[in-house]
Amino acid sequence: MAIARFPSTVLDCPDPAVLAAFYGALLDWTADVSEDWAEIRADYGQSICFQKVEPYPPPKWPSTDKPQQAHLDVVVDDLDEAEAAVIALGAVRHEFQPGSTFRVFLDPAGHPFCLCAD
C-alpha cells in the first residue's frame, strides 16, 4: 500500500497567477489561484502547483551557476504550431537547442520546458 497519493510538481516563481495562466492555457487545465499559491488541474486529477518565492532567482540553463532545478516535457503533435502557441502565451524560445525532436523554451518565470515531438 502506498504511503501517499496524488503527487504534485511544484515550481517556485515570482507570480503564481502568471504561471498558472500560462500552463493552464498550454494544457487546457483549470486554474485555482491565491496570492502566494496557484494550482492547475486536469479533469482526471493530475496537477501542477506554483509557489511564490521572493526573491526569485530564475534558473540559467544550460549553465550550472543556477541549474534548471526542474523542468517539464510536454508532448505535441506539431512542433512549429506548438512553438507559435507557447510564444503567444508568453514563452521565449531558448537560444540553446540541443536536439531536433524537441525544443527548449522558458516560461514567463524563466523555467525551462520542452515541447517534444510525438
Model-level pTM?
A: 0.81
Helices and strands in the chain, H and E counts: 2, 8
Residue ranges per structural domain of the chain? 9-117
* Residue 10 burial (C-beta neighbours within 10 Å; 0-12, 13-18, 19+): middle
* Superfamily for the 9-117 domain: 2,3-Dihydroxybiphenyl 1,2-Dioxygenase, domain 1 (3.10.180.10)
**Which residues lie across from 45 on neighbouring strands?**
none
Per residue in 19-69, pLDDT (tens digit) is 999 999 999 999 999 999 999 999 998 999 999 999 998 888 888 887 766
